[in-house]
Every structure is written in structure tokens, then in C-alpha cells.
Structure 1
């Protein structure tokens, strides 16, 4: 896992973009990848632990796709 920062998150659509040193240009994330016990939403600037993949195609314009997103304690 790598530490990432939430760049943007669209609650109404259930997706966002996360930035880390391993995912230049950003990583696409979906609410189903967020590992929490409650509502799966994130806030811009929030720190998360991220597992990602490069699926070989662009997901909404991003070369990286989140596999798991674990919010870090504040």
C-alpha cells in the first residue's frame, strides 16, 4: 500500500481521484473500493492508504485504478 491524498471526490457519482508518488497524473477510485464500515465517501485532502493497478487502459482518463482505499485516521 502507498499513502495517497484525495484530490477530488464526487459523492453523487461515487468516484474520485487520488494522488500518490506511485500514480502520477492521479488514480481513479470508486466508492466500492473504499474499505469502511459506513458510507463510502471521502473528502478532498484526506489521506488514505491505496492499493492500485494499471489496468492497461484508461479509466475515465486515468492510467491507474484503485483496488482498495483505506481511510487513514485523522
Structure 2
């Protein structure tokens, strides 16, 4: 098993067990199927996927049942993009930032 973790992958939901909260993803970029838990789905509210649904996901090498990869983040739409000036080289995921400027009239 390669220790190198690929970036964000495009794939499909192969199966989803909603009552148990897990499923299997597939991507042409990986030779093996990917185990996914509902907690990896990056959305608000109820997290449910359907077989055949297009998804984007990032993975980590893992021994989860018979699967060699586990999804750590999963999106049903385009993932959030790192900020343009983000120079964080830790490589631990997507970099996000926000700014808020408040001006009061005197």
C-alpha cells in the first residue's frame, strides 16, 4: 500500500448504507474502493448519499474492514478552495480564511 495520499479525487458512490451511516466510494484515480462514514460528508444537516452520486473526496491510507483507503472529507459539490494568499505548507487539508472589517460612523 502506498503511503502517498492523493489530493481531492472525483468519484462516485458505489453503495450507501444510510441506516448504518457508511458506504463505499470508487474513483478511477485509485485501484481500490474507499470506505466512507457519514461524518466525513462536509455539509450541514442530514448527511445522506445515494448509489451513483458524483462526489469529491480526500482519503487516507487505512485498514478499514477489507478497504485500503478511508475518506476523510467528502463533498457532493465543489470543495471549498484555499484562500489565494494562503501560504500554509503544513499539508493537513484545505486552508480557509476570512476577514471582517467594521467601520463605525462618528
Same fold (TM over 0.5): yes
- 2:37 match: 30
Matched residue of 1:29: which SS? strand
Q: Which is higher, the Rg of structure 1 or of structure 2? A: 2
Instruction: Provide the TM-score with structure 2 as the length reference.
Output: 0.63
Higher strand proportion: 1
In structure 2, the residue matched to 1:61 is: 66
User: Which runs of no fewer than 5 residues in structure 1 stay unpaired?
Assistant: none
Q: Cα offset for 1:25?
A: 2.5
CA RMSD of aligned residues (A): 1.3
Unpaired segments of 5 or more residues in structure 2?
A: 1-7, 79-106
TM-score, normalised via structure 1 length: 0.88
- Residue 50 (structure 2) aligns with: 43
Q: In 2, Cα distance between the equivalents of 1:12 and 1:69?
A: 18
Structure scoring higher RCO (CA < 8 A, sep ≥ 6) equals: 1
